A and B are shown apart, each in its own frame.
Chain A
Amino acid sequence: MSKEEITKMKDAMFEIKDLCVNVGKTTILKGINLTIHPGEVHAVMGPNGSGKSTLAKVIAGHPDYQATKGEILYEINRKKIDILDLAPEERAREGIFMAYQYPVEIPGVSTSVFLRAAFNEICKHQGAEEMDPLDFDAYLREKMKILNMDDKFINRPVNVDFSGGEKKRNEILQMAVLNPRFSVLDETDSGLDIDSMRIVADGINKLRRKDNAILLITHYQRLLNYVVPDFVHILRHGQIVRSEGKELAMKVEEKGYDWLS
């Protein structure tokens, strides 16, 4: 490995700089800075209304969340690109993924048809060959094993009549299938019983690699017992007020958020 390449490896793959975000006329995020390297798992914790979900949505490119200041730099082919300039589908095709807190139901569209359409869009963009339905079916079944999912699941319409746990598992299944480089998991633990949480956490752990990174957004410390983060950031009133190692999550669990300012 050349010296240059080593330096590149050390480079951040995802960097938020002084990001301010408005929803309507209200400013929700007020100058966020965050640097994430390949292989890392970061957790963002914070009380209700601190701006956690806004952070997830603005990374995914939701049109209701407008960045008024700052940038989100993401490494694409060794170049840093401000993804705020990219359409949401372009972000997805470049390997950015968001697991939804409230996954959306799409009646009539089977999970496998949906996932194959998304998978092939990403393949097309990245210059890889698209997969035919048979090959994709085999690929999908392989990924479903990671999350202990029933075969019947793939023919059911996306998220329709899914239990809360199934919806969250479906999000992580999508992550496994689409194979993103950078994932934001928005409150993936909310509404899960302990067994589902273990399955989901196991799934996430299996998807951790040296070349990808994960941003976990969570209200409780619970998930972090299973998916152990490298860094924990506390978000309050739209700003990151503290960043430490995983032990910060324990402190929050004990003391709540009020001691942080």
Chain B
Amino acid sequence: MSRNKIEKLQNEQTTENNTLSGRDYKYGFVTEIETDRIPEGLNEDVVSLISEKKNEPSWMRDWRLKAYRHWQTMKEPHWPNFQYSPIDYNAISYYNAPKKTTGKPKTMDEVDPELIKTFDRLGIPLTEKKRLAGVAVDAVFDSVSVGTTHQSELAKLGIIFCPISEAIQKHPKLVQKYLGSVVPYGDNFFAALNSAVFSDGSFCYIPKGVHSPLELSTYFRINAAASGQFERTLIIAEDDSYVSYLEGCTAPTRDENQLHAAVVELIAMNDAEIKYSTVQNWYSGDREGKGGIYNFVTKRGKCEGVNSKISWTQVEAGAAITWKYPGCILKGDNSVGEFYSVALTNHRMAADTGTRMIHIGKNTRSTIISKGISSDESNNNYRGMVKIMPSAFRARNYSQCDSMLVGNKCSANTFPTIEVNNNSATVEHEASTSRINADQIFYLVSRGLDTEGAVSLIINGFCKDVFKELPMEFAVEAVKLLEMKLEGSVG
């Protein structure tokens, strides 16, 4: 038997095992690929080695080392409303790159076919022939970007869309100016860790007056075992520009927890708008809570310019633990921040997620719509902060936090914080808790819908204010994802 055939057989076997063990997670497969891996452990040498592997300029390495030293002085945060076993930071490998991509391929034809196949299977075709028409994709596999589509098309408009490691080489001034300007390395424990060891992620620069005709997106795939993924994304929208950015993510089914600690920074100048959408579907562990990704993420946008707007839309349906508060610093007068979120937890998942809206400029406005769905024995929390600074005259905020419980063993909590330092502000907060129950399902079923259709109608109804903010294809995906997750939980 040839080697190829053996490999193919092995692959098929893995697929079969996955369908048997984790039927509800179709992305749980592992790609067998040779990797360039830095052994487990974290110290200054490892940080320098990552920098070296990426052939980085010294300012970048120094910044990483500063972050690392600062991180060592910090403590892992345990204030969120969930428990997790301590993370052994020396048991993690901080760099895993598929070997064949160490020298960055120039075209998609040079990318390892095994990787192309992997992304095909994830529904992210990368090759010229098959790639998605309206969406430019940067595909990140473990610690490196393996390919970015539509780059030349975007370059014609002056849009830079590339892996951040490439931006550090080619656009050092932009990176140096903005990296860490919204999330400084000392911001929090995981942001510091990320700043020290981040490997890849995307860089987007939209020049003045340009409305990106394509959706830009990054797909993050964790593949290697005993590894972490530390992505870093930086998006800059110059005056009067517009960009819609999407991210998706998946990981193999594994019994061990894996750490994903990302930092995303957005900067919007005068009259610029950034729309950032996430569909997060990391492996979330099995029914008993074994395995799954720890998703500890810092995302923040800065509305630097007047009339600028940053809008976060997230569908958080995966990960064993999610700790994430995408926020907006509304510095420019009349700037607008939005946060639309659906967080679904099932099995033993825990989510502590929400947003922070910091109003600094005059007439700044923010909207928060959060929908939490918890089922089985999961724990779903909204945590949010609205802060009106003394300078923020006539600032306005509207927050709505709704929780839906499926079954009677799950929990939902809301922790809103409102701090108002200017009495011309208007701040509204509404919250509700509801329950999806067998009576509702039967009511719909007795009108001719099947159970699946009934659940989908209810979930869609509950989440529609968030789903309508998602790009069309993403909205369809999101609905399917939630339906799949809730299958068997209702009744």
> Chain A residues in contact with chain B, CB under 8 A?
60-63, 87-89, 91-93, 98, 100, 103-110, 113-114, 117-119, 121-122, 125, 157, 174, 178
Whether a CB of chain A sits under 8 angstroms from the CB of B288 is: no
Is A118 a contact of B448 with CB atoms below 8 Å? Answer: yes
B451: nearest residue on chain A (CB-CB)? A89
> Number of B interface residues, CB 8 Å?
21
* Residues on the B chain within 8 Å of A157, using CB: 461
Is B462 a contact of A178 with CB atoms below 8 Å? Answer: no
Is A100 a contact of B443 with CB atoms below 8 Å? Answer: yes
Given contacts A62-B442, A100-B443, A121-B453, A106 and B458 within 8 Å (CB-CB)? yes
Is A108 a contact of B442 with CB atoms below 8 Å? Answer: no
Is A63 a contact of B458 with CB atoms below 8 Å? Answer: no
Whether a CB of chain A sits under 8 angstroms from the CB of B444 is: yes
A102: nearest residue on chain B (CB-CB)? B439
List 12 interface pairs A-B (beta carbons < 8 Å), by A numbering: A62-B446, A87-B450, A89-B449, A104-B439, A104-B442, A108-B458, A108-B460, A108-B463, A109-B460, A110-B461, A119-B448, A157-B461
Is A60 a contact of B461 with CB atoms below 8 Å? Answer: no
Query: Which one of B449, B461, B463 contacts A118 once the chains associate, using CB atoms below 8 Å?
Result: B449
Q: Which of A87, A106, A118, A119 has the most CB of B within 10 A?
A: A106
Within B430-453, the residues touching A (CB, 8 Å) are 434, 439-440, 442-451, 453
Query: In the complex, what's the smallest C-beta–C-beta distance from A114 to chain B, in angstroms?
Result: 7
Whether a CB of chain A sits under 8 angstroms from the CB of B457 is: yes
Given contacts A89-B450, A117-B457, A118-B449, A107 and B462 within 8 Å (CB-CB)? yes
B465: nearest residue on chain A (CB-CB)? A108
Query: Which one of B443, B448, B458, B464 contacts A93 once the chains associate, using CB atoms below 8 Å?
Result: B448
Query: In the complex, what's the smallest C-beta–C-beta distance from B445 to chain A, in angstroms?
Result: 5
Given contacts A89-B449, A157-B461, 9 further A-B contacts (CB under 8 A): A62-B442, A92-B446, A98-B446, A106-B457, A106-B461, A113-B461, A114-B447, A117-B449, A122-B448
* Residues on the A chain within 8 Å of B458, using CB: 106, 108-109
Given contacts A108-B458, A108-B461, A108-B462, A60 and B448 within 8 Å (CB-CB)? no
* Residues on the A chain within 8 Å of B444, using CB: 106, 114, 118
Query: Which one of A88, A110, A114, A125 contacts B446 once the chains associate, using CB atoms below 8 Å?
Result: A88
7 nearest A-B residue pairs (beta carbon) = A108-B461, A109-B461, A92-B448, A118-B447, A104-B443, A121-B448, A108-B462
Roughly how many angstroms separate A117 CA and B449 CA in the complex, as a whole number? Answer: 7
* Residues on the A chain within 8 Å of B443, using CB: 100, 103-104, 106
Given contacts A108-B458, A108-B461, A174 and B447 within 8 Å (CB-CB)? yes
Roughly how many angstroms separate A107 CA and B457 CA in the complex, as a whole number? Answer: 10
Is B453 a contact of A108 with CB atoms below 8 Å? Answer: no
Query: In the complex, what's the smallest C-beta–C-beta distance from A153 to chain B, in angstroms?
Result: 16
Roughly how many angstroms separate A62 CA and B443 CA in the complex, as a whole number? Answer: 9
Is A88 a contact of B464 with CB atoms below 8 Å? Answer: no
Query: In the complex, what's the smallest C-beta–C-beta distance from A4 to chain B, in angstroms?
Result: 32
Is A104 a contact of B461 with CB atoms below 8 Å? Answer: no
* Residues on the B chain within 8 Å of A93, using CB: 448
* Residues on the A chain within 8 Å of B463, using CB: 108
Roughly how many angstroms separate A254 CA and B48 CA in the complex, as a whole number? Answer: 95
Given contacts A117-B457, A157-B461, A106 and B446 within 8 Å (CB-CB)? no
* Residues on the A chain within 8 Å of B440, using CB: 104-106
Is B461 a contact of A178 with CB atoms below 8 Å? Answer: no
Is B446 a contact of A108 with CB atoms below 8 Å? Answer: no
Is A107 a contact of B442 with CB atoms below 8 Å? Answer: no
Is B457 a contact of A109 with CB atoms below 8 Å? Answer: yes
Is B448 a contact of A89 with CB atoms below 8 Å? Answer: yes
* Residues on the A chain within 8 Å of B462, using CB: 107-108
Is A63 a contact of B457 with CB atoms below 8 Å? Answer: no
Is B464 a contact of A108 with CB atoms below 8 Å? Answer: yes
Roughly how many angstroms separate A191 CA and B330 CA in the complex, as a whole number? Answer: 52
Roughly how many angstroms separate A181 CA and B297 CA in the complex, as a whole number? Answer: 56
* Residues on the A chain within 8 Å of B451, using CB: 89
Q: Which of B446, B460, B462 has the most CB of A within 10 A?
A: B446
Query: In the complex, what's the smallest C-beta–C-beta distance from A120 to chain B, in angstroms?
Result: 9
Roughly how many angstroms separate A46 CA and B460 CA in the complex, as a whole number? Answer: 41
Given contacts A118-B447, A122-B448, A178-B447, A88 and B457 within 8 Å (CB-CB)? no
Query: In the complex, what's the smallest C-beta–C-beta distance from B469 to chain A, in angstroms?
Result: 15
Roughly how many angstroms separate A61 CA and B200 CA in the complex, as a whole number? Answer: 55
- Per-position 1/0 for B192-228, Cβ under 8 A of A: 0000000000000000000000000000000000000
